[in-house]
A and B are shown apart, each in its own frame.
Chain A
Amino acid sequence: MSTSTADAEIAKSASAVQIVDQHIVEIVSDSGEGAQTCGQMFADLCARNGNGIWTVEIIPAEIEPPSRSRAGASGNRIRLGTKPVTNAGDCADIVVALNEQVLYSRIDAGALRAGTVVFVDRTWAESDDADIRARYAEAMKDFNDRNYFVVEAPIESECRKHTDDPRKGKNMWVLGLLCAIYDLDRGGVNDNITKRFAKKGDAVVKKNLDLFADGYDWTLAHVQQRYRVPAKKSTQPMVVMNGNQALGLGVMAAGIEVCSMYPITPATSVSHFLATALQETGGFVHQAEDEIAAIGFAIGASYAGKTAVTVTSGPGLALKTEFLGYAVMAEVPLVVIVVQRGGPSTGLPTKIEQGDLLAALYASPGDSPKIILAPATIEECFHFVITARKLAEEFRGPVMILTDANLATGQQPFPKPQLQADWLAAPVDQAHWDEKVPPFDWDAETGLSKRPIPGQRGGEYILTGLAHDEESHVAYESAINQKTMEMRSRKLAVLQSALQPPEVHGDASGDLLVIGWGSTLGAIEEAVDILRAEGKRVSSIHLRFLSPMEPGLKAIFQNFKNVMTVEVNYSDPVGAPYITPESRRYSQLAQLLRSQTLTDIDCWSQVPGSPIPPSRILAELRRRFDMLTKEN
């Protein structure tokens, strides 16, 4: 509907602020128009007020897409809630689009539904370019046909009152609009803007305050849809960041001094963060000539006493596998972070998938048992790095951390970690090494051993990837090979013996158990909670340790009539041509769990290139319950 009819419509509706417990907002623009800054500031303001939030960046596929292009949308999605928010949710409630074309990329992504309130800059309706006017008009008609609630806002023309370069000002105006809609305290925001732009001088501060005020006032006068998402300020200090920043901070907090990498989306931003920050803890980021060199460099630093981290994504993991096997064989502590993206091959470089689990586990030559962790939240991204370094040193080998593009770019507040001295790596041991102790003094029970570090007198030895005995001497004897394989494998069992079974979300028994890993935690639990509220006997567990797996799984599974995984990777859909129970390829965690627990575990997995929203999981779970009811 046009602005005038929209205004009339709004005027008719109650002007009272509607209380909601969660809402999803998107801001999209051509890249370079500041939608991301605006979204970021809005999210920060909400988080500061105590709202739960989850933010995702909306990133165009190209670096500089043409303006007003369908594929060019850049911006943010912010889901805010009264309670902590664990995922990006389903369709948006409100979308602000700085031109009508970028909105189409969100429509294509399935981000809108009938009834979504859409704010579009109506300045385009008055463009000098007849073609733009025509496309705008056409889009408005289309949006109405799609039953969006369209509000045409004079964004650019209002901004022109305050700045000659509205491209740089619209974001503050839109921030005003959003703050008015969500009833945020104006004074607080003003302070925030003043602080943010203080360095750029009074004129800039004033301009931004004016733009903000204009957006706020225009909205109060013209828009009657107003919401409040009640929030309670946290009593403890909170931080908000994305998963890659959390990984980076985890690297610092763990006392890791060397981050060796080769650029690859979506992992690179971990090292972007560290490239500036790590220097201040005395470390550095090494950008190697390729991923093989990156892990080789890290292993070199680790061997020399400074457990290092290498950060990559699927294609880089493929290149690292030979060295990963070396780190297992020669027992070199090492942290390997894999921020998964869509595969196979170059696949979907910027999109989420959980397709590298089996590659991480099995891609090295021979039997190469290694520890694999999967954080499920942004907060865990931070803490797992600290755990990983410790495990790498205690268990003398590589520890992999699998995250994904969803955790990499998603932002979530969490309690500010209290840094601890014992999180840091100990200083390099240069004391004399007891010459009687060999470099691989495997404990016959646990396979654990302590390693000499170059510089330790008496500990001189030659590390090798060849089969070797306790002295690290090359040894091809079958008995030695059998024993050393056993020693390296035993370490995983020892670690498992120290782990707790996973907590069951919901009742300990029921009709259906859903298993997930990684970034799907929030979406799975949200879907499960909705069904549980309806009285369905469904529970879920979420695995953090993938190798070794947490203990007690089989016992948990036995209490459920049906067990399935939900994953963001490929599995053959049941009922597709040629797909039989024998030929069907299961999703990756399901494959592992089936072989590990001899339980008939089903799977439902998808590769949409985007996080699976709770609604899709819900729909699938409902379908399963319908089937169960029919069967009974």
Chain B
Amino acid sequence: MQGLRNEWEAEAPQRTCTLEDYQGAAPRWCPGCGDHAVLNAVQKLARDKQLPPEKTMVVSGIGCSSRFPHYMSTYGFHGLHGRAFPVACGVRSRRPDLHMFVVTGDGDCCAIGTAHWIHAIRYNMDFTVLLLDNNIYGLTKNQTSPTTHIGEKSNTHPRGNVLPPLNPLSVTLGITNASFVAQTVDWNPPHLFNTIRSAYEHKGTSFVRILQRCPHFTQHIFAEAQNDMSQCRLLLHEDGIPLDPQLQRLFPNRTAHNPNDLAAARRIASSEDAYPVGLLYRDPNAARYDLQTQAGLGRSQAEKMAATEKWLSRYEL
């Protein structure tokens, strides 16, 4: 069996996939939930890129947002609360051929899954992370999340959240080996789509925080930002997220930002005057752990047996 190619390299026959080819069960999110927009964007991207559904995979944790894979008709892994990252890393460790997305929520990623978030960013394996941040626990019905603003009331803090929110962008930008960090909003479909596309095209872990409306519990939270575009700061650069110039002009607040400037990215991420929207940071040369774990793929059975025999013989008397 010498020279056998990787098991999965057999070419799929030519075909054209339509949006329906990526659509799974009918989404059960509340009407107006920002998650719908993200699902549409991902399905459209898959269609535009003609990703074979059988080669596409969405991994998620638990939460409203993590129901995402069920609404795709690709492969999917709806896992445990907070644990999407390790699963995705495990899949990627042996499967260079799959197109992978990880969908997580602010509780899933920034509370119970924090350790995995930090380490997944450091491993920098190739997949796109979509953090659907609605500043609240949706599925379990209105509890404070790490990204809930100070003073916001919830079922667990009826008198208002007592702590300032954790900032997922500055946390991610603080992690060694971060390679792609962007932010977008669910209510601007072109920017949302372009951001996810850039993230998908990046080789390594692309981290996209999506400000996501939860009309059911936190209607008011992003309402102002949605109505008043000046509450967002559009980041512009030729290496950044492309956006139609006409759409750019809708953002009164625009800043040129070179995504290879980490210090500037960190400054922008932590500024409190407006939500940065666009690509904060990209490092195409960051070390990739998946290239390490995949290095030995494709050994033949005979090679494996020979190597095992060699090691076994070391213990021979």
A interface residues, Cβ below 8 angstroms from B: 44, 47-48, 237-241, 245, 249, 252-253, 255, 257-258, 260, 277, 279-284, 286, 288-290, 292-306, 308, 322-323, 326, 413, 416-417, 419, 421, 424, 427-430, 454-466, 473-474
A308 to chain B, nearest CB (A): 7
Give A239 to B309 CA distance when docked, in angstroms: 12
Q: Which one, B8, B69, B293, B316, contacts A455 given CB within 8 A?
A: B8
Give A421 to B1 CA distance when docked, in angstroms: 12
**Other contacts beyond A282-B298, A306-B94: 13, CB < 8 A:** A238-B317, A249-B315, A260-B90, A281-B296, A281-B308, A299-B90, A304-B90, A416-B312, A424-B305, A427-B301, A430-B10, A455-B97, A460-B53
B307 in contact with A252 (CB, 8 Å)? yes
Q: Which residues of A contact B72 (CB under 8 A)?
A: 462
Known: A284-B293, A427-B7. Is A237-B90 also a contact (CB below 8 A)? no
The answer to whether B54 has its CB under 8 Å from any CB of chain A is yes
A126 to chain B, nearest CB (A): 40
**Pairs A-B, 9 closest by C-beta atoms:** A300-B90, A296-B86, A282-B296, A282-B299, A462-B76, A297-B90, A280-B307, A293-B86, A300-B87
B140 to chain A, nearest CB (A): 15
The answer to whether B159 has its CB under 8 Å from any CB of chain A is no
B interface residues, Cβ below 8 angstroms from A: 4, 7-8, 10, 12, 24-25, 52-55, 57, 59, 69-70, 72-80, 83, 85-95, 97-98, 115-116, 118-119, 292-293, 295-299, 301, 303-305, 307-313, 315-317
Q: Which residues of B contact A300 (CB under 8 A)?
A: 59, 77, 86-93
A631 to chain B, nearest CB (A): 50
A-B contact pairs, 18 of them (CB 8 A): A44-B317, A47-B317, A238-B317, A239-B316, A249-B315, A277-B311, A282-B303, A283-B296, A292-B86, A300-B86, A300-B89, A301-B94, A303-B77, A308-B90, A455-B54, A459-B75, A461-B75, A462-B75
Give A260 to B293 CA distance when docked, in angstroms: 11
A305 in contact with B94 (CB, 8 Å)? yes
A462 in contact with B69 (CB, 8 Å)? yes
Give A284 to B53 CA distance when docked, in angstroms: 28
How many contacts A-B (CB < 8 Å)? 204
A238 in contact with B316 (CB, 8 Å)? yes
B126 to chain A, nearest CB (A): 14
Give A457 to B80 CA distance when docked, in angstroms: 26
Known: A252-B308, A286-B293. Is A462-B316 also a contact (CB below 8 A)? no
Majority SS at the chain A contact face: mixed
Q: Which chain B residue lies CB-closest to A238?
A: B317
Q: Which one, B25, B93, B310, contacts A258 given CB within 8 A?
A: B93
Q: Which residues of A contact B53 (CB under 8 A)?
A: 457, 460
A430 in contact with B7 (CB, 8 Å)? yes
B76 in contact with A326 (CB, 8 Å)? no
Q: Which residues of B contact A296 (CB under 8 A)?
A: 79-80, 83, 85-87, 90, 116
B316 in contact with A416 (CB, 8 Å)? yes
B25 in contact with A428 (CB, 8 Å)? no
A462 in contact with B24 (CB, 8 Å)? yes
Give A255 to B7 CA distance when docked, in angstroms: 15
B94 in contact with A323 (CB, 8 Å)? no
Q: Which residues of B contact A286 (CB under 8 A)?
A: 89-90, 93, 293
A241 to chain B, nearest CB (A): 4
Q: Which residues of B contact A455 (CB under 8 A)?
A: 8, 54-55, 75, 95, 97-98
Give A258 to B292 CA distance when docked, in angstroms: 12
Q: Which one, B70, B95, B303, B304, contacts A464 given CB within 8 A?
A: B70
Give A289 to B85 CA distance when docked, in angstroms: 11
Q: Which residues of A contact B89 (CB under 8 A)?
A: 286, 293, 297, 300
Q: Which residues of A contact B93 (CB under 8 A)?
A: 258, 284, 286, 297, 300-301
Q: Which residues of A contact B297 (CB under 8 A)?
A: 282
Known: A288-B86, A297-B93. Is A326-B79 also a contact (CB below 8 A)? yes
A3 to chain B, nearest CB (A): 36
B155 to chain A, nearest CB (A): 23
Q: Which residues of B contact A279 (CB under 8 A)?
A: 296
Known: A305-B94, A430-B7. Is A281-B87 also a contact (CB below 8 A)? no
A284 in contact with B292 (CB, 8 Å)? yes
Give A323 to B87 CA distance when docked, in angstroms: 10
Q: Which residues of B contact A290 (CB under 8 A)?
A: 115
B17 to chain A, nearest CB (A): 11
Give A365 to B85 CA distance when docked, in angstroms: 22
Give A594 to B220 CA distance when docked, in angstroms: 60
A257 in contact with B317 (CB, 8 Å)? no
B299 in contact with A281 (CB, 8 Å)? yes
Give A252 to B313 CA distance when docked, in angstroms: 13
Q: Which one, B59, B79, B298, B311, contacts A249 given CB within 8 A?
A: B311
Q: Which residues of A contact B298 (CB under 8 A)?
A: 282
Q: Which one, B12, B79, B83, B305, contacts A457 given CB within 8 A?
A: B12
B54 in contact with A456 (CB, 8 Å)? yes
Q: Which residues of B contact A241 (CB under 8 A)?
A: 315
B57 to chain A, nearest CB (A): 5
B299 in contact with A462 (CB, 8 Å)? no
B304 in contact with A252 (CB, 8 Å)? yes
Give A458 to B10 CA distance when docked, in angstroms: 15
Q: Which residues of A contact B73 (CB under 8 A)?
A: 460
Q: Which chain A residue lies CB-closest to B54?
A: A457
Q: Which residues of B contact A252 (CB under 8 A)?
A: 304, 307-308, 311
Q: Which residues of B contact A297 (CB under 8 A)?
A: 86-87, 89-90, 93
Q: Which residues of B contact A419 (CB under 8 A)?
A: 305, 308-309, 312
Q: Which residues of A contact B317 (CB under 8 A)?
A: 44, 47-48, 237-240, 413
Give A474 to B298 CA distance when docked, in angstroms: 35
B312 to chain A, nearest CB (A): 6
B112 to chain A, nearest CB (A): 10
B90 in contact with A428 (CB, 8 Å)? no
B316 in contact with A284 (CB, 8 Å)? no
A253 in contact with B308 (CB, 8 Å)? yes
Q: Which residues of A contact B296 (CB under 8 A)?
A: 257, 279, 281-284
Give A146 to B25 CA distance when docked, in angstroms: 79
Q: Which chain B residue lies CB-closest to A474?
A: B70
Q: Which residues of B contact A295 (CB under 8 A)?
A: 86
Q: Which one, A280, A304, A428, A464, contacts B78 given CB within 8 A?
A: A464
Give A419 to B302 CA distance when docked, in angstroms: 11
Q: Which residues of B contact A301 (CB under 8 A)?
A: 90-91, 93-94
Q: Which residues of B contact A474 (CB under 8 A)?
A: 70
B293 to chain A, nearest CB (A): 5
B308 in contact with A240 (CB, 8 Å)? no
Known: A281-B307, A297-B93, A460-B74. Is A323-B83 also a contact (CB below 8 A)? yes
Give A294 to B310 CA distance when docked, in angstroms: 28
Give A206 to B255 CA distance when docked, in angstroms: 75
B295 to chain A, nearest CB (A): 8
Q: Which one, A255, A304, A413, A473, contacts B91 given CB within 8 A?
A: A304
B178 to chain A, nearest CB (A): 16
Give A257 to B308 CA distance when docked, in angstroms: 12
Q: Which residues of B contact A323 (CB under 8 A)?
A: 80, 83
B315 in contact with A293 (CB, 8 Å)? no
Known: A249-B308, A281-B299. Is A454-B54 also a contact (CB below 8 A)? yes
Q: Which chain B residue lies CB-closest to A257?
A: B94
B129 to chain A, nearest CB (A): 15
Q: Which chain A residue lies CB-closest to B118?
A: A289
Give A300 to B60 CA distance when docked, in angstroms: 12
Q: Which chain B residue lies CB-closest to A462?
A: B76
Give A612 to B141 CA distance when docked, in angstroms: 53
B312 in contact with A417 (CB, 8 Å)? yes
A245 in contact with B315 (CB, 8 Å)? yes
Task: Please indicate which of the listed interface residues B80, B93, B309 has the most CB atoms of chain A within 10 Å of its own CB.
Answer: B93
Q: Which residues of B contact A430 (CB under 8 A)?
A: 7-8, 10
Q: Which chain B residue lies CB-closest to A290?
A: B115
A343 to chain B, nearest CB (A): 23
Q: Which residues of A contact B76 (CB under 8 A)?
A: 461-463
B54 in contact with A421 (CB, 8 Å)? no
Q: Which residues of B contact A457 (CB under 8 A)?
A: 12, 52-54
